[in-house]
Amino acid sequence: MKLTQYLLPLLLILTFSSATSASPVINDAAALADLKVARGVFLIDIGDAKKLNFYLQVIQGSVKGLQAQSVKPDFVLVYIGPSVKYLSSAPSAETEQSAAGLLLDIESNVEALAALGVRQEVCAVATRVFGIDNSSIFAPMTLVGDGFISLIGYQAQGYHLVPVF
């Protein structure tokens, strides 16, 4: 009788403690139900180097997160506006100063995204407005005539807009 008296409370404690200590599964199963390919066109319009670098890292995580959930990411990043100042191998002195040493990190993240299969386009309207030499744009990127036209075209092809600013 005494063994049962101690065994039952012990079993209850073990049962409840293991049930409450189990971590819930965190994923995107509801949103990704039956999805095989995720098409996203990211509008990148960021004038701050630190913020741009941060979001380039976050997007890499999104690519890997989709892959981990058995969904193929098909992403295009379209850089417009002041973002283009940080995508040049020959930035202005003002851009270098404002970037506070992040230009190499940004370039590394651009290359890492390209290695993950993410296409990246740079708006020629923005490079003209911000005085960026088109030949200095990082190698894994493609110069396009107008970033807005790219966005319209990709959305017409079934890509979903993800604004990042």
CATH of the domain at 144: 3.40.1260.10
13 falls within a domain: no
Q: Tell me: the pLDDT tens digits for 92-117?
A: 999 999 998 999 999 999 999 999 99
Alpha helices (H) along the chain: 2-21, 29-32, 49-68, 93-99, 103-115, 124-129, 147-156
Tell me how many domains the chain contains: 1
Low-confidence ranges of the chain (pLDDT < 70): 1-21
Residue 160 lies in a domain: yes
Domain assignment of residue 18, yes or no: no
Its domain, for residue 127, covers: 35-164
Q: Indicate whether this model's pTM tops 0.75.
A: yes
